[in-house]
Amino acid sequence: MTVWIKDGEVVDPRRGVRHDDLIVEKGRVAGILPRGAFRRSGEGVRVIDASGKLVLPGLVDMHVHLREPGEEYKETVSSGCRAAVAGGVTAVACMPNTVPPNDCRAVTEFILKQAAGAGTARVYPIACITAGQQGKTLTEFGDLAAAGAVGVSDDGLPVADSEVMRRALEYGRFHGLTVISHCEDRSLSEGGVMHEGVVSTRIGLPGIPAACEEIMVCRDISLARLTGCPVHVAHVSTAGAVALIRRAKEEGVPVTCETAPHYFTLDHEAVAGYDTRTKVNPPLRTPEDVAAIRQGLADGTIDAIATDHAPHSPLEKELEFDRAAFGMIGLDTFLPLVLQLVRDGVLDLPEAVRKCTLNPSVLLGIEGGGLEEGSRADLTLVDPEMEYRLREEDLVSKSKNSPFIGMTLKGRAVLTMVGGRIVWERDGTHPDSR
């Protein structure tokens, strides 16, 4: 079976936007041809009309919480992967703070088995740095890598002990595992529920200062400099953290980082109504921090955009603000929020796409993220002009904890393909393809 994706605008993060047709055969991109050059039709050729659509490499979300095993009432590997492909995401890296945590081969293998059964997005497990995420004893990196883990992190918690983190960086590089650091000095965040600043003072909630993140970013940069081993900083949210990483990169320290769409879209004023869906860790920061995150994206300090998709049920969220859990879902709104950066002139389209496709693939050492001849046919067709008010029932994730409900978003995935197989199609948009 040959699939002919016709008349779209193909965005290749390496080569920019091309008004070409894309031919998919045997799960791969078999050809990228000028419009009209492909002549075969009839039996065995399925034509997909992509006119007015962008054809993007499938997004690669390197920071997702799938909640399985253990908290299947919030999300499962299957429901999370479905939310992913509905949002144009064809690969996710899932964080290990499940119940039990992914600190051994059996859990990594279980997640991969569930992902294979779901048969939609590709899943790349991130295993724990320390046993039980207790911050004391390193896990068996070699064994976890052999089982299919692509990185290690104690995400949800920092690795407080610097000696343990130093060894994690050294063993991580040795075993080809990306080490991802959740930067938080818990002695400073203890009891805090939002950013410490004018809004927390005004509304009377205990704060988490920017320094809480920056102290750990500083420590991790020092360890990367000491060891020469790479470290990847998760969910950067403050101007100070961006500045530290920018300077370290200039000095040749092997540090990379990601931010999440909420950190370049919302600031701490969003918390003023005590809406627990705005409670995230790290917290939403000041407008100056938001501007610095955008600048960091524009100048290349921030390598990747990842959602930190963190599903919670009403049990954890319909509570007083200080008792509610941290986290918001992100897979469902990833694409429109990134496209907004392009409309705002922060990034051009190929660069924005690169930060959600090629760059995270390179950071994780996995195949994918591009659209060239021979690439895996992991791609998504996007209607960049589709405007809609986000309703709760639009969310494909099992959990609905999104502060973007009720807001008007623009840009939506209409068809998603993984390995040449269509895994998601928005109804009624592709009459030609039926």
Angle at CA 129, nearest 5°, toward 112 and 305?
70
Task: Tell me the backbone φ, ψ of residue 256, rounded to 5 degrees.
Answer: -130, 165
Q: How far is the CB of 157 from Zn ion (least distance, A)?
A: 8
| Rounded-to-integer distance, Cα 301 and Cα 154, Å | 23
Cβ closest to Zn ion, residue 240 vs residue 327:
327
Cβ closest to Zn ion, residue 20 vs residue 308:
308
Cβ closest to Zn ion, residue 235 vs residue 376:
235
Is position 155 annotated as part of the catalytic site?
no
Q: Does 20 bind Zn ion (CB under 5 A)?
A: no
Q: Does 308 bind Zn ion (CB under 5 A)?
A: yes
Cβ closest to Zn ion, residue 71 vs residue 308:
308
Can you tell me which residue has the tokens 């997005």?
A: 121
Single out the residue of 176, 173, 171, 123 nearest to residue 146, CA to CA: 176
Q: Residues in contact with Zn ion, total (CB under 5 A)?
A: 3
Cβ closest to Zn ion, residue 147 vs residue 216:
216
Q: How far is the CB of 261 from Zn ion (least distance, A)?
A: 13
Angle at CA 56, nearest 5°, toward 55 and 62?
160
Binding Zn ion (rule: CB under 5 A), the pick from 7, 12, 71, 155 is 155
Q: What is the DSSP letter of 51?
A: T
Binding Zn ion (rule: CB under 5 A), the pick from 182, 195, 262, 430 is 182
Q: How far is the CB of 183 from Zn ion (least distance, A)?
A: 8
Q: How far is the CB of 265 from Zn ion (least distance, A)?
A: 17
Single out the residue of 258, 170, 181, 171 nearest to residue 218, CA to CA: 181
**Contact letters for Zn ion, residues 110-149 (x by CB under 5 A):** ----------------------------------------
3-state class percentages of the chain: helix first, strand second, coil last, to nearest 5 = 35, 25, 40
**Span from 72-80, 131-139, 306-314, 360-368 in contact with Zn ion (CB under 5 A):** 306-314
Q: How far is the CB of 156 from Zn ion (least distance, A)?
A: 6
DSSP assignment string, 155-188: TTS----HHHHHHHHHHHHHTT-EEEE----HHH
**Span from 9-17, 84-92, 174-182, 344-352 in contact with Zn ion (CB under 5 A):** 174-182
Can you tell me which residue has the tokens 């591009």?
A: 370
**Span from 31-39, 107-115, 181-189, 372-380 in contact with Zn ion (CB under 5 A):** 181-189
Angle at CA 365, nearest 5°, toward 111 and 231?
95
Q: How far is the CB of 151 from Zn ion (least distance, A)?
A: 12
CB 230 within 8 A of CB 205: no
> 300: alpha, beta or left, given left = phi > 0 and alpha = psi -120 to 50?
left
Cβ closest to Zn ion, residue 155 vs residue 332:
155
User: 308, 332, 378, 383: which one is catalytic?
Assistant: 308
Residues 6+ apart with CB under 8 A from 84: 61, 64, 90, 91, 92, 120, 121, 331
**Span from 83-91, 175-183, 261-269, 405-413 in contact with Zn ion (CB under 5 A):** 175-183
List the interface residues with Zn ion, window 205-234 (CB under 5 A): none
Q: Does 12 bind Zn ion (CB under 5 A)?
A: no
Token code pair at residue 381: 């067709």
Give the interface with Zn ion as residue ranges (CB under 5 A).
155, 182, 308
Query: Which amino acids are annotated catalytic?
Result: 308
